[in-house]
Amino acid sequence: MTADKQKTGWITAGLLLGLILSSLDQTIVSTAMPTIARQLGGLSLYSWVFAVYMLASTATMPIYGKLADLFGRRIMYLTGLFLFLAGSVLCGLAGDMTHLIVFRAVQGLGAGALMPVAFTIIGDILPPERRGSFKACSVRYSPYPASPGPRSAGISSNTQAGDGFSSSTSRSAFPPS
């Protein structure tokens, strides 16, 4: 295998991993959200956790596309990945629903870069006749997060300290006001 093909393989694997990570996040959050909302005492704000994520990610997709054209695909993809991961960590530290909603917005800002910039990068590094193989891989691997995501969310929300997420939220870096 030539160095160029090997580099393309690593790039493709990294982009697929980012797409799978984003899908896995959605399946975990949707399963664990009732327990999280109950623990954080914000059942009335339940739908905002999903709405703000979708709004932020959808609104930033075309912005990331333009910024990727101006500043480069790699830097914009890494910026989106960093925001997504930082938002994920902050969501885990949220002490109340307001913080969780704000941090999901941060996560959504990052998620807006993952899919469009990933497909743009593939368009840049693969010849037209090979681009379909990446799309096939992304479709083939997209169902995998649907299985472990809800399962791991259910296990963690039912077994963590015996009563869901209370042990992680009680030591939160952002205590409720």
pLDDT bracket for residue 161 (50, 70, 90): very low
C-beta of residue 53 within 8 angstroms of C-beta of residue 105: yes
Residue 71 CB burial class (10 angstroms; 0-12, 13-18, ≥19): exposed
Helix (H) or strand (E) holding 87: helix 73-93
Give the residue-averaged pLDDT of 100-119: 92
> How far apart (Å, rounded) are the C-alpha atoms in residues 105 and 3?
39
- Is the per-residue pLDDT at 63 higher than 90? yes
The pLDDT value given to residue 172 = 46
